[in-house]
Amino acid sequence: ELSSSGDYLLAYTRSGRLVVLRVPHIFVSRVSASETPSGELRVEALVCSLLTSRPGISVFLRDDSGQKLSEVNLSPMEPGDCDTASLSTSLEGVSGVSLVVRADNWMYGPVSLWVQPPRVEPEVAVGLPEGSVVGEASSIQVAISSGSQGGRVLITLESEELESRPVEFYISEWESVAEELRFKPLAPGDVPAVLRVSMDGEVIYEESFTISVTSGHVVEGFTPPPSSGLVETSSYSVEVQIVNRYLDGATFTLEVSGALTGRSVVGPLGAGESARVSIPVRAVSSGEALLRVSSGEFSEEVSLGSFEVSPAGAPAVSVSPQPAPSERPGLPGLPTDILEVAAGVGLVLGVALIVSKIRGRPREVEVEIPPELPPRPAVRPSGPRRPAPTARVEVERKTLRELEERLSAAREKIESIKAEVSSLGEVPGLPERISDVERMADGVEAAITLEDVDEARGGMVRLEEAIEALETYLRQYKNVFLGPGWAQVERRIATMLNLWGRAPASMLTMVPQELRVSALARYMKEHPELSLELRGDELHLKGEQS
């Protein structure tokens, strides 16, 4: 049995329980809303009436401030009838849209149809190089999370002493992109620079900083004359390969001194530009030859090796070792050169006497004493002698020394990171990464010990990149959990929970991927009043379905 009274419907169940239901006089039975590509919201609503007075019915859309956006009037309906209302409105500058139905003094709604998604600003993280070398390419790592925006991104580096090209690309909403901007230093010193990141012409990040730039070695390699068989005052050449790692536009003077002498000038050369120089040299005397490359305040000296130079007029052959004077036949203690002169004089006198006897009459014999013999060329002591190092060996030794210095600096950075992590407590993912980096350092050290230059150089590049990634990760961790960045992460999680009842880790684009679940876990721990639970990589309000 049913009876009605005013706005309520009363009903008795079969068990005798009384049920009271509020029955609206006008209501929306079904509604659909869709957003068009042109930025409009289109609404279809099925409106029903139970009013016996058959009043006119008005259906309209309004924004959050109560301002009407669109309205349509329906014809009077019989009690129990329904009619469809179609409306549309522009979403430009609107934060929310609701549906309202009016009939005389009766009103149904508002029914929320559309809410402007929360605006999440893009975020930028930058990784700067520890240092750079003139003429060698370096890079700045730039990671961008677009947030709720998307558009064309332009990354520029402004500096008079850094040569670079802008990086340009398109990024979608809620997308994270990592790019690198490569640059080449033109001069040594602390170089000031400004990095700017803009999206669709609007600057979203700007930072001023200095980059420490140093001069590097200039001599890449050389080809000297043979180490033996050279003749005094004769001309030869030294081929030298150089790369300008000193100063953009520098002119270099190349001077050879010692066993060989010569000079040549090359330039101007741009930063990083290479040149092959042929230096005409003259052999002077046996010994070591040095190559000195200079330009302004820059100077670099390299050994070309040791050379044997024979006197002019002497055959250009290697002199065989002679036995010591005490081992030669003759008078003990008497120099060999004096014995050779005396033997020559005796031979001439003997021949003259024999000839005079044959002719049967005595005659005076003129004896010409040969002039003093020139000094014999210096002869190195017999025995094993290390050959002069070749150009390749010399360059590889220098490279290995530089790699040892870089490895020592890398190990110091690793220890510094370990100490900082220890002071912070548990940092998810870092202990494993540090162990991997330490193994990489051990591999580089083994390659240096074996003098495997190529393996050591490649391993060092990978090691330095891994350490830089560690530093970036640690910096991002501190920004997310210890700095002002945590407030933004909290707001993002709270917004997602309010809108959807869940917060996926993938939407925390401002947080490194390895830390996103940790961020959700921390939020849940700090907000026990919300009855949250972590399901995989999503944080849910209890009772909400996945």
pLDDT band of 6, cuts 50, 70, 90: very low
Q: Per-residue pLDDT averaged across 463-491, rounded?
A: 80
C-alpha angle 279/282/284, rounded to 5°? 135
Q: Per-residue pLDDT averaged across 167-193, rounded?
A: 89
pLDDT higher for 409 or 21? 409
- pLDDT > 70? residue 362: no
**Topology of domain 123-214, CATH:** Immunoglobulin-like (2.60.40)
Residue range 24-115 in CATH 3.40.50.620: no
pLDDT band of 315, cuts 50, 70, 90: low
- pLDDT > 90? residue 197: yes
- pLDDT at residue 156, rounded to an integer: 95
- pLDDT at residue 331, rounded to an integer: 41
Residues 404, 453 contacting (CB under 8 angstroms): no
pLDDT band of 395, cuts 50, 70, 90: low
Q: Per-residue pLDDT averaged across 513-539, rounded?
A: 87
Q: Which helix (H) or strand (E) holds 471?
A: helix 453-477
pLDDT tens, position by position, 221-248: 899 999 888 998 899 999 999 999 999 9
**CA distances (Å), 148 to each of 117, 173, 476, in order?**
8, 5, 21
- pLDDT at residue 23, rounded to an integer: 67
Which residue, 366, 380, 376, is CA-closest to 341?
376
**CA distances (Å), 497 to each of 114, 116, 479, 487, in order?**
17, 15, 23, 15
pLDDT band of 34, cuts 50, 70, 90: confident
Q: Per-residue pLDDT averaged across 3-31, rounded?
A: 71
pLDDT band of 332, cuts 50, 70, 90: very low
Beta strands in 421-515 (DSSP E): 502-504
pLDDT tens, position by position, 124-171: 888 888 889 999 989 998 988 888 788 889 999 999 999 999 999 888
For 186-247, give the secondary structure using H, E and C: CCCEEEEEEEEEEECCEEEEEEEEEEEEECCCCEEEEECCCCCCEECCCEEEEEEEEECCCC
Residues 39, 90 contacting (CB under 8 angstroms): yes
**Cα–Cα distance for residue pair 49/79, rounded to 1 Å:** 6
* Same-fold call for 24-115 versus 123-214: yes
Q: Which helix (H) or strand (E) holds 26?
A: strand 26-35
Going from N- to C-terminal start, the domains of the chain cover 24-115, 123-214, 219-310, 335-369, 412-482, 485-541
Q: What rounded mean pLDDT belongs to the chain?
A: 80
pLDDT higher for 424 or 260? 260
Top mean pLDDT of 312-316, 332-336, 347-351 is at 312-316
C-alpha angle 501/502/508, rounded to 5°? 135
**Cα–Cα distance for residue pair 287/318, rounded to 1 Å:** 14
Beta strands in 51-95 (DSSP E): 57-63, 68-74, 82-90
**Cα–Cα distance for residue pair 269/173, rounded to 1 Å:** 46
Cβ neighbours, 10 Å, residue 395: 19
Residues sharing a CB contact under 8 Å with residue 322, sequence separation 6 or more, in sequence order: 379
Q: Which two tokens stand for residue 182?
A: 């490569």
**Cα–Cα distance for residue pair 95/90, rounded to 1 Å:** 11
- pLDDT at residue 195, rounded to an integer: 94
Superfamily of chain region 219-310 = Immunoglobulins (2.60.40.10)
